[in-house]
Structure 1
Amino acid sequence: MDRRHFLAAVAALGAASGHARAQTRAIAASPEALARLAERLLRVEEDGLDPRWYDLGPATLSDPAAILRAAGMVMTDLLHGRAGVPAGRVDLRRDTAAHPLGPWLAQITQSAEPVEALDRAAQAGPEVAALKAGLAAARARALRPLPAVPSAGGTLEPGALDAARVPALRARLAATDPQLAAHPGTGEEFNEALVAAVRRFQSDAGLEADGRVGALTFAALNRSPQHQVDQIRVALDMRRGLAPALRERRIEVNVPDYRLLVLEEERVLMDMAVVVGRPARATPMIVTRLTAVQFNPPWGVPQRLAKEDMLPRLRRDPQSLAQRGIRIFRWIEGELTEIDPMTVDWRSVHPDRFPFILRQDAGDLNALGRLKFIMPNGDDIFLHDTPERQYFRRPDRAFSSGCIRLERPMDFLTLLLDGMPGWDRERADRMLASRATSVASLRRQLPIRLHYSTVTVAGRDVRIRPDIYGLDQAYARAMESRAPRVPVAARS
């Protein structure tokens, strides 16, 4: 509604108020207070909500009872979250019973200044002030159209000459990078100043800051600023109606932020980088407990990985897997028998009919490294060491086949073994040095949650990670499609 229509609705409110009071239970708020409430309802966008969801049209805003009813719906979404818990999001720990609506709705219907109750509800939840400030800044950025950068032509390398893409790249970065905007330069050479601006952009976008403009950087450059607006709206809604935080020691893995934290109440005991599943092999959201650790684990290659990744390698070089300690087995007359890869015509093996089982012996080349941390779940996901240490130096770390690779597995093990009789770092070192496979059950089985939060807050700073699995987009659709929930108090 524009301001002209709003003022007309406010003018009508006084005349309508006496009629409405005669037909409904007593309304404590004056017409002026209801007008202030109506004006606040039109600003729910600053809370990440959409006025269209609450039928905030001229008819509603000229009817005191309708204003209160809309305020009750907004209040419900502010306290309990609009999207509820979308399918598959077991990581969202909502507890609406911990946030009873009754007292809040009573303040809407019985208060002389109901807008104050709505403002308090809008501030409920962790990190809301920083997120709302970030949302306002993102909306301001989204109002400025950004030049597109053509992506056809492959990776744009530093020093390259490109008459189409380099000027477009310069224009796009100068629109958001004050340092480049001060001295943008000209020409078609991807020069040092422009490479430096690309690195700054990549760092802010959570990409590897190598100055090369490849597919991921092109996608980030051409992503609509509205995406960040939607991500912050999702972040605000995800923080509403939360269950109280666990007081016991716990493990939190934020998948799109590529971080593992060990927390005790709100104190951080450990913080490390992790590698998670690439989009084609997404790490699922899981809530469970860590139950055991396996020393010197063998690796049973998952069948999907064997068919999609290993079979092409065997076709190119049948001995390539043997060089990494991977052995091939097949059931023959009821017995699991090892197969010489040189005796198989791998080009004739169809992925849909793959009769082989691949196993990698424990050792330095093992894909799981020297440690595997076990947690019961239906997706066979676990945490583990890895010999591929190079990925931890990258800001974007979605490279695994779904499991979680740990930057500092020995430090993690030491924390888990703390307080277990007969166990210390020295004994763990001896177990690893023996190269024998063994399992130790954990006395203290910590809760672990694999969750998805692309927007994180540190102080007043809001950091936005790429939505690598599209779960923010799915959540935003759930917010948009959810029918208005009319509170019982409002209906009555």
Structure 2
Amino acid sequence: MRLIRQDKSSSSTLLTAKKALVQGAVFASCIVGFNASLLSAKTSAGITQGHSSQHAASLFEPVYLDPNSTQLIEKMKNVISWHRELVNQGGWQNLSLDEVLEFGSKGPAVAALANRLIQGGDLTHTSCIGYSILSQAKAIEPCVFDLNIEQAVKSFQQRHGLSVDGVVGKKTLRELNIPAKKRYAQLLLNFQRMTQFSGLTNEEYVLVNIPEFKLRYINKGNVILKNRVVVGKPSWKTPAFSDQIEKFVVNPTWRIPLSIATREIAPKVADDPDYLAKKNIEIRENSYIDKNIIPADKIDWDEIAPYQFKHFLVKRAGKDNPLGEIKYLFPNVNAIYIHDTPAKNWFKQTKRAASHGCIRMEQPFSLAKAIIEKQGLDVFNDVNQARDSDQTRTFHLKKPVPIHLVYWTAWVDETDTVNFRTDVYNRDKNLHLLESQEPMIAANYSVDQRAVTP
């Protein structure tokens, strides 16, 4: 997993050290509650021995802290405390349903559901309080699935990444029955991830939370933009790392990865010699930008083995290009980028792990527009002209924008809502260790640790 790309200059080294020290202080403040919004030279006394006074002064100058990140950590502390208390009280009850519950349903199962929603904080009041299976024989009105309960179910579904229909079926029931102890452990695990967040000192950045299938553009602590995204399927996982968006390309060509070229496209060309022409794909001889084009009939496609192909497949710009009308580049060893897509139906799905690893964005030009506005770039007309043409055009940002791809399966969002998501890549596999005992989060943590993405 990569660190944020760093120059070899001394200024970059100082910035890295600053970030590490700030993150150490913020982490400590989350545990013991002291105010560490800024580091000063006084704080660093005794740590800077062996450095020149000028070097030390530069190292411990006040560093910007992103309000969005620091508030997130504070909110997580409160949510963790709340869930700890709930676990100590025995957690919430497990539901057993023989039928789907929806608006108008009646009976003890609805009462049990209402009680569970109250325990989880989704329902604040209901006429079902006091109703139980034991009291069913008494002369009381049966509990009714009313508008309040329906709205509470929708709230639960929304913050758990489910289809929001207000109906309690198998998927909603499964999420309702995840024990409070496991949710508590999930919060602890993601709290640890958040305290290592590489964007802590960024004034402007793009955040992609992979399990949430969402992208945010954040500027000076404010969420300027939020967009649905499609991420890599479990067999083509989108990695978590940090980098910088340097440019975006309108009407991009698609440089088809070697894995896709050899494992997926080559067999299709072997079956249909006209496949490449139909799909607007050309074969470039020595590189993706080589102007020398190789005819498809000059290659024995039956002999192409996985990852064994000396040429380069490029899909020309056009309506059927899988990158759509725009892509954002942050050069990285993973060859991951953000792009448009003609497959818009995926954005209607709640689970959107469907790509080969890259990130597809629902409203892709909205990010360019937001960044252009914040950076004061006068390129709106040029971008629109490029969109109206078939020509590929590249636009460089005035200042690279940090981008952080994170893997958070539990967090508190900008509306103060507690969210949980499915562990789509099975990266929470050690969750049982946090369930088994009370973890000491701060153990073995020091300011010498370097910040890596989760």
Match of 2:417 among 452, 457, 461: 461
Query: Shift in Å at residue 344 of structure 1?
Result: 6.1
Which consecutive residues of structure 2, in runs of 5 or more, have no partner in the other structure?
6-18, 35-71, 102-108, 118-127, 129-144, 447-454
Query: Shift in Å at residue 313 of structure 1?
Result: 3.9
1:363-402 to 2 correspondences below 5 Å: 363-402=318-357
CA distance in 1, matches of 2:305, 2:199: 51
Query: Shift in Å at residue 296 of structure 1?
Result: 1.3
1:390-469 to 2 correspondences below 5 Å: 390-418=345-373, 423-458=378-413, 459-469=415-425
CA gap 1:278/1:221 in 2 versus in 1, 3 angstroms = farther
- Please tell me the residue identity of whatever aligns with 1:442: L
Once the two structures are overlaid, the 10-residue window that deviates more, 421-430 or 314-323, is 314-323
8 A contact 2:199–2:404 mirrored in 1: no
CA distance in 2, matches of 1:245, 1:483: 19
**How high is the TM-score relative to the length of structure 1?**
0.57
More helix by share: 1
Give the structure with higher Rg (CA): 1
2:77 pairs with 1:128: yes
**How high is the TM-score relative to the length of structure 2?**
0.61
3-state SS, counterpart of residue 428 of structure 1: helix
CA distance in 2, matches of 1:413, 1:244: 20
CA distance in 2, matches of 1:104, 1:204: 29
2:52 pairs with 1:96: no
CA distance in 2, matches of 1:221, 1:316: 49
Query: Shift in Å at residue 139 of structure 1?
Result: 7.5
Which consecutive residues of structure 1, in runs of 5 or more, have no partner in the other structure?
1-86, 107-122, 148-165, 183-192
CA distance in 2, matches of 1:207, 1:237: 25
- Please tell me the residue identity of whatever aligns with 1:368: L
CA gap 1:218/1:90 in 2 versus in 1, 3 angstroms = farther
CA distance in 2, matches of 1:175, 1:302: 54
3-state SS, counterpart of residue 318 of structure 2: coil
**Cross-structure match for 1:255:** 210
3-state SS, counterpart of residue 291 of structure 1: strand
CA gap 1:230/1:372 in 2 versus in 1, 3 angstroms = same
CA distance in 1, matches of 2:88, 2:116: 23
2:400 pairs with 1:472: no
Paired residue total = 350
3-state SS, counterpart of residue 379 of structure 1: coil
8 A contact 1:296–1:362 mirrored in 2: yes
Query: Shift in Å at residue 464 of structure 1?
Result: 0.2
**Cross-structure match for 1:206:** 161
Query: Shift in Å at residue 374 of structure 1?
Result: 1.1
CA gap 1:142/1:308 in 2 versus in 1, 3 angstroms = farther
3-state SS, counterpart of residue 432 of structure 1: helix
3-state SS, counterpart of residue 376 of structure 1: coil
Per-residue CA distance 1:316-336 (angstroms, 9 max, x = gap): 54544533322345669x995
CA distance in 2, matches of 1:175, 1:330: 69
8 A contact 2:4–2:198 mirrored in 1: no
2:255 pairs with 1:327: no
Aligned Cα root-mean-square deviation (Å):
4.9
- Please tell me the residue identity of whatever aligns with 1:323: K
3-state SS, counterpart of residue 447 of structure 1: strand
8 A contact 2:83–2:180 mirrored in 1: no
8 A contact 2:245–2:329 mirrored in 1: yes
**Cross-structure match for 2:295:** 339
2:240 pairs with 1:285: yes
8 A contact 1:414–1:424 mirrored in 2: no
- Percent identity between the two aligned chains: 23
Query: Shift in Å at residue 471 of structure 1?
Result: 2.4
